[in-house]
Amino acid sequence: MSYVGPDFEPSQPRRPRRGPLTVALAALVPGALLGWVVYEAVGGGSGGGSDRTAAAATPSGTAPVPSSPTDSAAGSPADDGKRASKAPGPASLKGKVVVIDPGHNQGNFQHTAEINRKVDIGTNKKECDTTGTSTNAGYTEARFTLDVAHRLRTLLQKQGATVKLTRDGDSPAWGPCVDQRARIGNDAHADAAISIHADGSAAGNRGFHVILPGTVHAGAADTRPIMGPSRDLGTRIAGTFLRDTGEPPSNYVGEGTGLVTRTDLGGLNLSTVPKVFIECGNMRDSKDAALLTSDAWRQKAAQGMSDGIVSFLHES
């Protein structure tokens, strides 16, 4: 999602001012880099290789690697990957609600007027939705996200969770708009929500990143109540996604942490429930594209997301 659009304006990496959230995120850094090194060292990286330029992004901070992953109160991605593996068995999530948001829609290509309509995301107005990106061979982001969403739904339902999708199959024919996607999670009183995407950055840019909500308090948007739990959810997913897929953290955003904070995404700004985005890999890079188009790897991606969500729900 490296194009200009509602929830996908590319974020230009820059070194932001360090504030309270920077300090909080600083302790999360080692999990992605150190965790990957350990993972590769034991031969776990054979299933994956390494998600989307982000221009109007506002990363609220990523910081240098501290000396120990245990410095973080929320836990590092590597730590959370280990914790998730100890989660209780099937039907342990009975009563929990998870909303999965497969990014974009195949029908958006035929409904450009509808998806170009501006909607209010709290801080400003943006397009209802966009078409998404694709691999050079034409495998679309919309197909990828729905496939992974179906796999993730199956895994979570086996754990006893109630799962709702913002779109499924050919319904709706286009969209939904980004504000509607947030509303679906809110109306479901979701215990956790995840929006699934893949990037369209330049070749050579590889890896995944999880996008966390930044501080937004404007118009209809107020992310302050969900920032803490969303950060916890995103950190756990980053750890288990790394562990299960072998895909390393992004080498072009997030400074190697696998975590990026943004305030320009309507799907996060308007959410009242814990929610994150995940960019699973870069569709425009040949190595990442080979993974994203693999059935076996997409199953690993769904497993990585599921493990992180399960871990979060057991602790929340």
pLDDT, tens digit, for every residue of 115-167?
A: 999 999 999 999 999 999 999 999 999 999 999 999 999 999 999 999 999 99
Q: What is the mean pLDDT of residues 268-284?
A: 98
- The alpha carbon of residue 175 and the mean position of all alpha carbons in its chain are separated, in whole angstroms, by 18
- The alpha carbon of residue 174 and the mean position of all alpha carbons in its chain are separated, in whole angstroms, by 21
- The count of other CB atoms within 10 Å of the CB of residue 19 is 11
Q: What is the pTM of this model?
A: 0.77
pLDDT, tens digit, for every residue of 278-296?
A: 999 999 999 999 999 999 9
pLDDT of residue 170: 85
Give the integer Cα–Cα distance in Å for 83 and 192: 18
**Best CA proximity match to 129, nearest among 163, 165, 172:** 172
Q: Which residues are catalytic?
A: 279
pLDDT, tens digit, for every residue of 69-114?
A: 323 333 445 555 555 555 455 568 999 999 999 999 999 999 999 9
pLDDT, tens digit, for every residue of 203-246?
A: 999 999 999 999 999 999 999 999 999 999 999 999 999 999 99
pLDDT of residue 90: 59
pLDDT of residue 108: 97
Residue 278 near residue 237, CB atoms below 8 Å: yes
Question: What 3-state class would DSSP assign to 45?
Answer: helix
Residue 61 near residue 288, CB atoms below 8 Å: no
**Best CA proximity match to 62, nearest among 277, 261, 292:** 261
Question: Comparing 19-23, 184-188, 294-298, which segment has the lowest mean pLDDT?
Answer: 19-23
Give the integer Cα–Cα distance in Å for 123 and 280: 26
What stretch of H or E contains 146?
Answer: helix 141-158
Residue 250 near residue 208, CB atoms below 8 Å: yes
Give the integer Cα–Cα distance in Å for 125 and 119: 5
Domains of the chain, earliest start first: 20-315 (3.40.630.40)
